[in-house]
Structure formats: structure tokens, C-alpha cells
């Protein structure tokens, strides 16, 4: 009898080990937008724009106990931009990776094209609001258990597979190479999770040479490191997050860097369907009396999520010739879920510059720090299990400082609205042993 039980148990283990799955899914996400001052403040002669952008994805996943493979291809377009007989489609792979597990499955190697999403996506994020998203070609080595996660990420980017003459990187990813170490302690089983990260980015910059000599290149490195602490709301209606990241080294323009970002967030779950929060993000700006670059770069984070959905800051550029004055963003948010299918969100942003002096071309100008206030509204409605309807509206009340650093006319009404449907059906799934 004991032998039979042991044999049955062993068969169950073997079955679990041999289990395999394969699925095919798709995403269809059209989004209509009305822009009347989004991204950049409009001036009197600026006309509003309306359009529909679209993302269509087809994804395949294969998984067994020691391996996982994902292939995802997408087509991104504006409705009407392609002629009806166009033969030059833009169908491309946004994900193509293999993940191999070792030992008991807590060690893995994942290599290929993939999104890098870490912590709250301040530095590395999927940038999912962008129709194309964001991907990297990397090798990721990892260790994960209940309380600990450790990831090592390596990237080496080249433009050509040269036979001789070395390598000059001319595009694609914004960096030549990257090495990242990320460690997280706590996971979802402790009152708070703590993450540490170090990102080392290598840039290809021109090497100083004699004028008569051919141009040569060298690699310079920028380091960004810091911590992110996040509560997990275990038995407590209070939730919070803290972050601090510092940048040093050399940027892609071959300039010395010394900059940082600090952020705090405090929220309270009033009851299961209503929560409120207040947060403050402080990103250093350019000190015009310092030869170093003191304005913080958010690298490859999801900026649309944090600094106002109208994308005035970090998602779009400053006015040409104006130094970056930094950003002090004080935010108040309310999240209300009247039902299991409907979610409403309101965010108010009070924007200030960090510096009160900027350079415009070669001139120094004194500015008032208050930039403006942004009001963001969003409603999400789950139509069915794999379909969500979303809509939003935002407006900005700017000041003269906004005109100085971003352009446009702050006295004019600046607003932006959008509506989108996100369909994610899985139309094939198979499991076998």
C-alpha cells in the first residue's frame, strides 16, 4: 500500500514536471485623441488636431517547466496614413525572447527582445501609453524566491556586423551598451518591499583628436543608482512609497553629470472603493553656475504616468535653447470604484521649477517658479473580461513661466481629450503533458 502511494505521488510529480502550455493571444487598441495644447502649449495660430492611432499585436507563448518562449509582433499606425494598396507594412517584433530555468526554477536566463519593467517604472518601464511601447535587446540573468529577487541585465548594441574597422554605433537604441543590477527584498509577503538598482549606460562619443586626423570614438559611462521602497497594504489602509536616485558620470553629450530625483507618496484607503493620495516628485534642474549637468534624466521610464498626462514634462522637450529648470511636482489624487466594472480617477498637479534662473541661448534670465496647474480625469469601464473602454480629459492652467520654458501662450485654453478601447482576447490555449 505504501509503495502504491509513493508511486502515485511520483507520477503526480512527473506529470507536473512534464506539463506544457501554448497560447495565442492578440491586442487591438485604437485610441482617438483631441489635442489642443497637449505636449506643448499652443499659441494663437495653433489649430487643434484630431486623429486615431492604433496598435495591433499578435503574441504566442510556449512554456514548460524549464523553458518559456514568447514571440509578439505588432503593427502601429494612424488611421488613414497608409494608402489602401500599400505594400510596405510596418509589422515588426516588439518581443522575441527565450527564458531558460535552472535547478528548482529559481535561477533563469532570459535573452532577446523584451520590455524592462522595474519598480514603479521611473527609470525602466514598458511605456505602454506609447502605441509602440518600449523594448530592449538584452540578456537578463536572475534569481528569484519568495523574499528575494536579483536581476543582472546586459546589452551590447551595434549597427553593423563588421569584418574589420571596429564598430561605430549609429542608431536604434539610445545607448551603446548597458549593465544593470537590480535587487528586491520583501516581495508581496512582507509589509514593504525594498529595491536597489544600479544602471551603467555606455555612450559612444567623439574622441578629441587633431583636426587633420580622422574622427575616433570612445565609450563614456553614466551611472544611475538608488532605492525604491513601497508598502504592500498588508492589513493597513495606509500605503506609501519612497524613492531616491542619483546620477553621475558622463552623459551622451560627453558632459559630466551630478543630478538626482527624490519622490514620496502617501495614500489612504478610506474604504474598499475609495482611496486618496498626495505625492511629491523633485527632479533637479540645471544649475547655470555649475559646469556639470545637474538636470536629472529619467532615462527610459514611463513619464506619462507621473508628470501629468498632457506630457509637458520629460515626455516632450523644452523650448529650444532653454536650460532645464528641473521639476517640483506636487500631486493630489482620488481613485473611486463605484462598481467592479467602473473606475474613476482624478489627479491635480501643482508644477514648480527647481531653479529660479535659466539660460535662454547665452542669456541668463530670472523666472518665477510656479509653472502651472494640470487637472487630469480618467474613467475605465470593463465591458467584458477581455475588453476595456477608457476615456480621459485634461486641461492646463499655465503661467508666464510656462511660456518661457515650453513656448505657446499661457493665456489660451490648453486641453486634451481621448477615448480608447483595449481588446485582449486569447483565442487559443492548449495544455498537455
Closest CA to 416 of 43, 30, 35: 35
Kindly report, residue by residue over 262-307, the tens digit of the pLDDT.
999 999 999 889 999 999 999 999 999 999 999 999 999 999 999 9
Contact 156, 137 (CB under 8 A): no
Confidence class for position 15, pLDDT limits 50, 70, 90: very low
Kindly report, residue by residue over 377-390, the tens digit of the pLDDT.
999 999 999 999 99
Domain boundaries, the chain: 24-39+46-83+90-432
Residue 11 has pLDDT above 50, yes or no: no
pTM of the model: 0.91
Contact 292, 257 (CB under 8 A): yes
Decide if domain 24-39+46-83+90-432 falls under CATH 2.40.160.100: yes
pLDDT of residue 4: 44
What's the Cα-to-Cα distance from 208 to each of 201, 255, 291, rounded to whole Å? Answer: 21, 13, 19
Distance (Å, whole) CA 254 – CA 176 = 14
Contact 171, 159 (CB under 8 A): yes
Mean pLDDT over the full length of the chain: 92
Residue 233 has pLDDT above 80, yes or no: no
pLDDT of residue 206: 83
Contact 54, 72 (CB under 8 A): no
Confidence class for position 2, pLDDT limits 50, 70, 90: very low
Amino acid at each position: 500500500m505504501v509503495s502504491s502511494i509513493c508511486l502515485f505521488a511520483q507520477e503526480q510529480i512527473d506529470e507536473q514536471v512534464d506539463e506544457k502550455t501554448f497560447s495565442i493571444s492578440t491586442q487591438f487598441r485604437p485610441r482617438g485623441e483631441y489635442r489642443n495644447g497637449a505636449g506643448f502649449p499652443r499659441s494663437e495660430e495653433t489649430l487643434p488636431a484630431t486623429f486615431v492611432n492604433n496598435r495591433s499585436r499578435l503574441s504566442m507563448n510556449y512554456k514548460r517547466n524549464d523553458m518559456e518562449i514568447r514571440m509578439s509582433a505588432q503593427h502601429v499606425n494612424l488611421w488613414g496614413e497608409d494608402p489602401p494598396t500599400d505594400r510596405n507594412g510596418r509589422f515588426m517584433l516588439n518581443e522575441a525572447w527565450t527564458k531558460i530555468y535552472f535547478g528548482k526554477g529559481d535561477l533563469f536566463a532570459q535573452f532577446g527582445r523584451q520590455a524592462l519593467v522595474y519598480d514603479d517604472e521611473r527609470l525602466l518601464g514598458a511605456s505602454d501609453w506609447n502605441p509602440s511601447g518600449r523594448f530592449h535587446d538584452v540578456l537578463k540573468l536572475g534569481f528569484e524566491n519568495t523574499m528575494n529577487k536579483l536581476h543582472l541585465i546586459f546589452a551590447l548594441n551595434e549597427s553593423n556586423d563588421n569584418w574589420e574597422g571596429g564598430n561605430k554605433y549609429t542608431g536604434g537604441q539610445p545607448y551603446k551598451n548597458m549593465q544593470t543590477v537590480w535587487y528586491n527584498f520583501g516581495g508581496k509577503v512582507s509589509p514593504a518591499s525594498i529595491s536597489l538598482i544600479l544602471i551603467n549606460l555606455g555612450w559612444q562619443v567623439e574622441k578629441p583628436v587633431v583636426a587633420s586626423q580622422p574622427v575616433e570614438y570612445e565609450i563614456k559611462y553614466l551611472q544611475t543608482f538608488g532605492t525604491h521602497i513601497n508598502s504592500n497594504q498588508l492589513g493597513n489602509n495606509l500605503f506609501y512609497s519612497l524613492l531616491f536616485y542619483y546620477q553621475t558620470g558622463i552623459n551622451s553629450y560627453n558632459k559630466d553629470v551630478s543630478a538626482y530625483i527624490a519622490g514620496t507618496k502617501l495614500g489612504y484607503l478610506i474604504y474598499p472603493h475609495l482611496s486618496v493620495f498626495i505625492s511629491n516628485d523633485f527632479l533637479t534642474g540645471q544649475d547655470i553656475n555649475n559646469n556639470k549637468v545637474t538636470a536629472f534624466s529619467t532615462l527610459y521610464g514611463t513619464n506619462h504616468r507621473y508628470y501629468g498626462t498632457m506630457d509637458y514634462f520629460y515626455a516632450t522637450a523644452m523650448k529650444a535653447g532653454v536650460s532645464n529648470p528641473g521639476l517640483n511636482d506636487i500631486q493630489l489624487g482620488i481613485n473611486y470604484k463605484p462598481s467592479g466594472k467602473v473606475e474613476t480617477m482624478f489627479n491635480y498637479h501643482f508644477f514648480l521649477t527647481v531653479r529660479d534662473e535659466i539660460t535662454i541661448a547665452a542669456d541668463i534670465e530670472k523666472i518665477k517658479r510656479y509653472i502651472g496647474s494640470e487637472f487630469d480625469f480618467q474613467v475605465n469601464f470593463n465591458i467584458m473580461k477581455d475588453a476595456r473602454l477608457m476615456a480621459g480629459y485634461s486641461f492646463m492652467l499655465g503661467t508666464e513661466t510656462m511660456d518661457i520654458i515650453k513656448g505657446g501662450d499661457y493665456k489660451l485654453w490648453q486641453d486634451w481629450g481621448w477615448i480608447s478601447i483595449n481588446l485582449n482576447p486569447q483565442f487559443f490555449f492548449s495544455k498537455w503533458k
